[in-house]
Chain A
Amino acid sequence: MLQIGTTAPDFSLFTTPDQKINLSQLKGKKVILAFYPADWSPVCGDQMALYNETLKFFHKHNAEMIGISVDSKWCHMAFSQDRKLHFPLLADFEPKGAIAKLYNVYDEEEGQCQRAIFVIDEQGIIRWNYLSPVGINPGADGILDALDEMDNKK
């Protein structure tokens, strides 16, 4: 996975059938980039549901949560509606896994993203990263601790 201190590679991915998000659009905010294996699978569902409930804590740190998997924009739309998610899910769909590969968190064998989290600062530099065992929901405590530390250093 990309190391702490490196510049987060930019990307432009669909979040809804007619809308894309560029990482560079979010400069000036912190970004939590959560790569996850798949919509609908039990652990990812719990992980995204948890982030959905902890958004207010992220927002206090001027941080936006973004989920990324290789699922298509239509799949994301259905999943997001079903779980009432209030943050964007990006489709790393074509070419498949290209952004995950750029961040070095692609699982070639399964053909899906690893469960990996990057916290990126206002200037687009990676300040924290975490690779979780694939079957384990990593929770939100590590992210919040990283955000706390980033704000305390200022």
Chain B
Amino acid sequence: MSKLKPPVNSNDHIQGDAHAPIELVEYGDYQCPHCGHAYPIIKSIQQQLGGQLKFVFRNFPLAEMHPNATNAAVATEAAAVQGKFWEMHDIIFENQEHLGNSHLVKYAAKIGLDAEQFKADFENPAALEKVESDFESGVRSGVNGTPSFFINGTKYNGNWEEVDLLEYLQSLVG
């Protein structure tokens, strides 16, 4: 069984209670249609599990296949500097068909980011380094495509498209 390397830490973007009993980590690519399909499923799982779940998103852009995926990921990391990682993550998945740089700038404005600051953070090599380090951690953890999920540190190889993932997570909390 592939293990999450490194474990969730302070460099991660975490949604939900840090002490929740279930930790769900997604490695995703903003331009990947399967990840777009997973997006509302995860939202629904978060709603149903509430405080029992924390959700972490790590970047795994397949840049050769998806030319806009890396920049979209960098945009979320730039938004994170202004405390709006999840807002950017959401708006990007909700507009997955349009991920050119001009669109990313519009989304930044729409979620209320300071435009100058966003531009500077987008161009700051630190944002790209974060994305690349996520990618490498995914490779090391045995990510073999997107989306890949890890539950409490172990790779989940089951189905996520139906209720299977929700039921599996519910079974963990009993």
**Which residue of A47, A53, A137, A144 is within 8 Å of B62 (Cβ)?**
A53
A49 contacts B142, C-beta separation under 8 Å:
no
A11 within 8 A of B: no
A53 contacts B145, C-beta separation under 8 Å:
no
B64 contacts A50, C-beta separation under 8 Å:
no
A141 contacts B64, C-beta separation under 8 Å:
no
- Residues of A with C-beta under 8 A to B142: 139, 141-142
The distance in angstroms between the C-alpha atoms of A154 and B135, with both chains bound, is 27
Known contacts A57-B136, A57-B139, A144-B139; A139/B144 CB under 8 A: yes
Interface of A is mostly: helix
The number of residues on chain A lying at the interface, defined by a beta carbon within 8 Å of a beta carbon of chain B, is: 20
A49 contacts B139, C-beta separation under 8 Å:
no
Q: Give chain B nearest CB distance to A40 CB in angstroms.
A: 14
B133 within 8 A of A: no
**Which residues of B127-151 have CB atoms within 8 Å of chain A's CB atoms?**
135-136, 139-145
**Which residue of B2, B63, B140, B141 is within 8 Å of A53 (Cβ)?**
B63
The distance in angstroms between the C-alpha atoms of A83 and B63, with both chains bound, is 11
A52 contacts B64, C-beta separation under 8 Å:
yes
**Which residues of A31-76 have CB atoms within 8 Å of chain B's CB atoms?**
46-47, 49-50, 52-54, 57
Known contacts A50-B145, A139-B2; A144/B64 CB under 8 A: no
CB 8 Å contact bits of B102-136 with A (1 = contact, 0 = none): 00000000000000000000000000000000011
Interface of B is mostly: loop
A137 contacts B144, C-beta separation under 8 Å:
yes
CB 8 Å contact bits of A82-93 with B (1 = contact, 0 = none): 011110000000
CB 8 Å contact bits of B60-75 with A (1 = contact, 0 = none): 0011110000000000
**Which residues of A95-154 have CB atoms within 8 Å of chain B's CB atoms?**
136-142, 144
- Residues of B with C-beta under 8 A to A138: 144
- Residues of A with C-beta under 8 A to B140: 141, 144
The number of residues on chain B lying at the interface, defined by a beta carbon within 8 Å of a beta carbon of chain A, is: 14
- Residues of A with C-beta under 8 A to B62: 49-50, 53
Name the CB-closest residue of B to A145: B140
The distance in angstroms between the C-alpha atoms of A136 and B144, with both chains bound, is 9
B65 contacts A84, C-beta separation under 8 Å:
yes
A47 contacts B144, C-beta separation under 8 Å:
yes
- Residues of A with C-beta under 8 A to B143: 139
Seed contacts A46-B145, A139-B139, A141-B139; 20 additional CB < 8 Å A-B pairs: A46-B144, A49-B62, A49-B65, A50-B62, A50-B139, A50-B145, A52-B64, A53-B64, A57-B136, A83-B64, A83-B65, A85-B64, A137-B144, A138-B144, A139-B143, A139-B144, A140-B139, A140-B144, A141-B142, A144-B140
Instruction: List A residues at the B interface (Cβ < 8 Å).
Output: 46-47, 49-50, 52-54, 57, 83-86, 136-142, 144
Instruction: List B residues at the A interface (Cβ < 8 Å).
Output: 2, 62-65, 135-136, 139-145
Top 9 A-B residue pairs of the complex, sorted by shortest distance between their CB atoms: A139-B144, A137-B144, A141-B142, A139-B142, A46-B145, A84-B64, A140-B139, A52-B64, A54-B139
